[in-house]
């Protein structure tokens, strides 16, 4: 599995069953059986999902007699959000040089768009000193 926590978090979130589990957990701590209730899958399958969530640090588990209740843990969600936040300016419409080539898109009939592609190493053939 992924070494870095952020990858583990996103990987854990990349499954509808696990997201549903988190949604349910946001309403309060529950047992595995309770958690498995709304799904069509077997209990072991749910256990595996919980393990993924636990490895990602998204849930913590305690022991209460023979129950292992799960509780939502905030940190990974917070970290994931922090990463996304980093791009907020982007999806909200105002960017760095992004608006530059967005504007460019509008007027892509103009020959001015020639600078769009950085042309990384084209002139390497004879002038790369």
Partner DNA sequence: TGGTTATTTTCCCACCTGGTTAATTACGCC
Partner DNA sequence: GGCGTAATTAACCAGGTGGGAAAATAACCA
Residues that bind a copy of itself (CB under 8 A): 2, 4, 6-11, 13-16, 19, 22, 26-31, 33-34, 37, 64-65, 67, 69, 71-72, 74-75, 77-78, 80-81, 83-85, 87-88, 90-91, 95-98, 100-101, 116-121
- The pair of structure tokens assigned to 18 is 């696990």
| Residue number with CB closer to DNA (94 or 117) | 117
Under rule CB under 7 A, residue 108 binds DNA: no
Pick out residues in 37-76 that bind DNA (CB under 7 A).
Answer: 40-52, 61, 63, 65-69
Name the minimum Å distance from CB 102 to DNA.
20
């Amino acid at each position: 599995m992924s070494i870095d926590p952020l990858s583990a978090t996103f990987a854990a979130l990349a499954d509808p069953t696990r997201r549903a589990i988190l949604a349910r957990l946001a309403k309060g701590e529950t047992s595995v059986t309770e958690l498995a209730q709304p799904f069509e899958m077997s209990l072991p399958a749910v256990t595996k999902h919980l393990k993924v969530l636990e490895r990602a640090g998204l849930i913590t588990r305690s022991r209460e007699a023979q129950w292992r209740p799960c509780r939502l843990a905030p940190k990974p969600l917070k970290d994931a959000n922090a990463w996304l936040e980093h791009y907020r300016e982007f999806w909200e419409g105002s960017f760095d040089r992004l608006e530059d080539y967005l504007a460019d898109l509008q007027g892509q009939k103009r020959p001015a768009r020639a600078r769009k592609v950085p042309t990384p190493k084209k002139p390497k053939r004879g002038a790369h000193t």
